[in-house]
């Protein structure tokens, strides 16, 4: 693993334009379960019955009770973990330009990343099906399910349900930065859901080096990953940042003029 981390650090330390694609795995160490694999949400509930737009429009009360209320409970208290923090460090080092995330938890922004493309929306907001008014999730009154807007309309989370389109700007910009990058970190995604899973292929086709971080191999690992780092983001990402810092010369110290001496004072005045 250390060798792979060192080689990944070589790539990132000299990258002209690095981006990251993240999935549920980067938030697992923040207490948010993934969707697939051991302990995955879709292992417990059928996503087509509870996370598809048709299911929501057919029976919003059930979808609120089974899925959305539980998501709120988990997301209300979630905090960024070392994996998120490391991406902020990479941004501050001038290496990471953009984060494309499939997550709706807002933890990248909470950690401090500036340019975050929310491919599947954000759970921090709800919208009214009737008047489209947006309300902060934290302010939604959950004593009545499904919760209602002041106009009486039913509220829905500003997340992308199965069967819905990806927000246009997020899609176009994600395709653009994927085609522009020379290194892509793919962190904590099973790469099973389109079109997000296409981004690493767009990057690869444009010559980018793919660095994958995931405790399990994914469909990308044997096909396009140049550096598969098999492990948890929360432990690997800080090690990667440390290795990169060893390769970046410390910022040059500002030159402080020597303290004014009697001789110098005399000299300066003459001038």
212 interacts with ligand APR by CB under 6 A: no
Interacting span for ligand APR (CB under 6 A) from 2-10, 164-172, 229-237, 261-269: 229-237
190 interacts with ligand APR by CB under 6 A: yes
Contacts of 99 (CB under 8 A, 6+ apart): 19, 20, 22, 87, 108, 113, 115, 116, 117
Least spacing, CB of residue 147 vs ligand APR, in Å: 21
Binding track, positions 8-47, relative to ligand APR; x by CB under 6 A: ---------------xxxx-xx----xxxx--x-------
Compute CA 162 distance to the chain's CA centroid, rounded to the nearest angstrom. Answer: 19
**What whole-number distance in Å separates Cα of residue 67 and Cα of residue 65?**
6
3-state secondary structure of 154: strand
Residue nearest to ligand APR (CB): 25
Binding track, positions 142-171, relative to ligand APR; x by CB under 6 A: ------------------------------
Least spacing, CB of residue 35 vs ligand APR, in Å: 3
Return the closest-CA partner of residue 83 out of 248, 244, 240, 227: 240
Nearer to ligand APR, 236 or 243 (CB): 236
Can you tell me which of 112, 153, 215, 238 binds ligand APR, judged by CB under 6 A? 215
Can you tell me which of 109, 113, 214, 225 binds ligand APR, judged by CB under 6 A? 214
Q: Show the DSSP H helices in 26-131 as ranges.
A: 41-44, 47-50, 53-58, 60-63, 69-77, 82-92, 107-111
Binding track, positions 104-133, relative to ligand APR; x by CB under 6 A: ----------------x-------------
**What whole-number distance in Å separates Cα of residue 109 and Cα of residue 122?**
11
Q: What is the DSSP letter of 151?
A: T
Q: Rg of the chain over CA atoms, in angstroms?
A: 23
Choosing from 52, 120, 176, 267, which is the catalytic residue? Answer: 120
Going by their DSSP bridges, the two strands 134-136 and 121-128 should be labelled as antiparallel
Strand ranges (E), the chain: 18-22, 96-101, 116-118, 121-128, 134-136, 155-159, 183-187, 209-213, 227-229
Total binding residues for ligand APR by CB under 6 A? Answer: 26
Binding track, positions 63-102, relative to ligand APR; x by CB under 6 A: ---------------------------------------x
120 is catalytic: yes
Can you tell me which of 8, 126, 189, 225 binds ligand APR, judged by CB under 6 A? 189
Nearer to ligand APR, 94 or 219 (CB): 219
If residue 242 lies in a helix (H) or strand (E), which one and from where to where?
A: helix 233-247
| Residues shown for the chain | 271
Give me the residues that bind ligand APR (CB under 6 A), please: 23-26, 28-29, 34-37, 40, 102, 120, 188-190, 192-193, 213-216, 218, 232-234
Catalytic residues, by residue number, are 120
């Amino acid at each position: 693993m250390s060798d792979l981390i060192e080689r990944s650090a070589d790539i990132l330390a000299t990258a002209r334009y690095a981006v990251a694609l993240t999935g549920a795995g980067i938030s697992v160490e923040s207490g948010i379960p993934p969707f697939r694999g051991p302990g995955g949400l879709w292992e417990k509930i059928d996503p087509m019955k509870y996370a598809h737009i048709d299911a929501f429009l057919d029976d919003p009360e059930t979808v609120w009770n089974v899925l959305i209320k539980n998501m709120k409970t988990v997301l209300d208290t979630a905090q960024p973990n070392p994996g998120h923090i490391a991406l902020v460090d990479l941004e501050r080092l001038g290496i990471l330009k953009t984060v494309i995330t499939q997550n709706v938890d807002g933890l990248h922004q909470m950690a401090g990343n500036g340019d975050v493309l929310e491919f599947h929306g954000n759970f921090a907001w709800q919208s009214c099906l009737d008047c489209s008014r947006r309300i902060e999730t934290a302010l939604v009154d959950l004593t009545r399910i499904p919760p209602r807007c002041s106009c009486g309309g039913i509220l829905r989370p500003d997340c992308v349900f199965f069967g819905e389109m990806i927000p246009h700007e997020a899609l176009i910009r994600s395709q653009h930065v994927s085609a522009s990058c020379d290194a892509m970190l793919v962190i904590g995604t099973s790469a099973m859901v389109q079109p997000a899973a296409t981004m690493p292929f767009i990057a690869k086709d444009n010559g980018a080096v793919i660095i994958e971080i995931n405790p399990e191999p994914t469909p990308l690992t044997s096909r396009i990953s140049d550096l598969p780092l098999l492990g948890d983001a929360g432990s690997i990402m800080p090690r990667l940042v440390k290795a990169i810092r060893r390769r970046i010369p410390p910022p040059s110290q500002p030159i402080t003029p020597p303290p004014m001496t009697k001789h110098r004072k005399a000299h300066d005045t003459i001038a």
